[in-house]
Structure 1
Amino acid sequence: MSVTDSTSGLTLNQILANSARTQTTDTSIGAASKAATGSQSLGKDAFLQLLVTQLKNQNPLDPQDNTAFVAQLAQFSSLEGITTLNTTVNSLSGGLQSSQALQASSLVGRSVIVQTGEAYVDPSSAKPFSGSVVVKDADSKPTITITDAHGEVVRSINMGVQKAGNVDFTWDGKDDEGVLLDKGSYTFSASTKNDTGTTALTTYLPATVNSVTLSKTGGEIMLNLAGLGSIGISKVQTIGL
């Protein structure tokens, strides 16, 4: 048998439930919500405070459902795990960036072999300029064509019959007439002729690292090469002295 208030039409159970909800909103849950919204985010501490307050102020005639309680505990566990994961990932990211910066700084002033068709050459240097070309087919006869900054061909080097793979070549800094050229940027293009026509080949040339540019967004490290500009570190084949 239920007791009914004739003025409002509510049962005793409804009156008790409304009273419990009103007390909860006006006291502990209100304080917890205010603490959470004050920081503009619902952290794990505020989440746990809301959960405990909800249990303390639940309606005795309509207690918290077990399924809902377990679901809230699972949400809290997930929140804790995500927070820990974010902290770990941020720590690893910071360590990786520091490691990349240290490795990149050690490349400054060193010579690297990169996949490119352009190089800065000082023919007056006692050491001849050297590079390599990738031969795709066996018994090919690759030819290296060297062009100066004005687009004029200054030297052609016939490498003869070569096997498939990386084939080294050297240039003494002289043109076809034997005249020593000025230092500057030169373009090296390699090709080979076969029954189907002329095939372009990939060249690897040396360059000196002047400086290194680190990406603020975690992108690829860029090497600033003398006389050539920037190139991605992924294009480096060999790191020399």
Structure 2
Amino acid sequence: MAVNSVTGPGSNAAQVSNTSGATLASNFETFLSLLTTQLRNQSPLDPLDTNQFTQQLVQFAGVEQQLKTNDTLSALLLSSQTAQAGAALNLVGREVTAFGQTSQLSDGKATWNLDSPKAGVTATITIRDSTGALVYTGKKDLKSGDQDFVWDGKRTDGTKAPEGLYTISVDAKDAAGNAVEVTSEVAGVVEGVDLSTGEAILLIGDIRVPLGQLKSVKALKA
């Protein structure tokens, strides 16, 4: 089980914000020093335009506020990523079901769960390999609710497809010819978690499932 450490964009944003804040503070100190010098040496008969100073002060204040907002957002993002990572790691070794179209052909079969909102639905099943090439197409009658679709790994022409990842698509219609939305799901035991992208990805064999696609979790039977 390979679990990557949490290194998301939040830490980089914090570093940039800290650097920008230091630069702003330095520029602001320089601005105040110049302002003080100009005010001390201005001519009483031709005083400096205070509107310009006021505008510059407002600009400094606006930039400072934006940097503070960025710091807050970075902290919230890091907190969210940490919580997500903890939730994902707790799923390792558990059986999960998730919304998805990609399943793994292994030992002569690949399984998807299809959820139909009604009975009497005829579905055209299309399966493609990892390159997008058409491998199998066929029809299946669906009942209402969840049901498994098990592909035996044979192409439409009857030849055997190699093991690997395959993606399903379902075009379903009822008896009246109206389109019916059928969702597909995959299931398996979580073997690891990939956190390298900043998003928790559950690893089910070679299948990669975003944590947000999770539908249900079960404890393995002893």
Given the two structures, how large is their TM-score scaled by the length of structure 1? 0.52
Decide whether aligned partners of structure 1 residues 83 and 187 sit closer, same or farther in structure 2, where only a CA change above 3 A counts. Answer: closer
Correspondence for 1:55: 39
- Aligned: 1:210 with 2:187: no
Correspondence for 1:73: 54
Superposed, which structure 2 residues align to 1:159-174 within 5 Å? 159-160=142-143, 162=144, 167-170=145-148
Superposed, which structure 2 residues align to 1:1-241 within 5 Å? 43-64=27-48, 68-108=49-89, 109=92, 110=94, 111-116=96-101, 118-120=102-104, 131-135=113-117, 138-143=118-123, 151=135, 158-160=141-143, 162=144, 167-170=145-148, 188-193=168-173, 194=175, 196=177, 201-207=182-188, 208=190, 210-215=192-197, 221=199, 223-234=201-212, 236-241=213-218
Unaligned runs of 5+ in 1: 1-38, 124-128, 176-182
Q: Is the 8 A contact 1:112 1:209 kept in 2?
A: no
Instruction: Provide the identity percentage.
Output: 20
Q: What is the aligned-residue RMSD (CA, Å)?
A: 4.4
CA distance in 1, matches of 2:66, 2:136: 59
Q: Is the 8 A contact 1:112 1:240 kept in 2?
A: yes
CA distance in 2, matches of 1:94, 1:169: 43
Unaligned runs of 5+ in 2: 1-22, 154-162
Decide whether aligned partners of structure 1 residues 186 and 132 sit closer, same or farther in structure 2, where only a CA change above 3 A counts. Answer: same
CA distance in 2, matches of 1:197, 1:89: 49
How far did residue 140 of structure 1 move?
Answer: 3.7
CA distance in 2, matches of 1:189, 1:40: 54
Choose between structure 1 and 2 for higher RCO, CA contacts under 8 A separated by at least 6 residues: 2
CA distance in 2, matches of 1:72, 1:131: 67
How far did residue 121 of structure 1 move?
Answer: 7.0
Q: Is the 8 A contact 2:124 2:172 kept in 1?
A: no
Q: Is the 8 A contact 2:194 2:201 kept in 1?
A: yes
Q: Is the 8 A contact 2:104 2:164 kept in 1?
A: yes
Matched residue pairs, number? Answer: 177
Given the two structures, how large is their TM-score scaled by the length of structure 2? 0.56
How far did residue 106 of structure 1 move?
Answer: 2.3
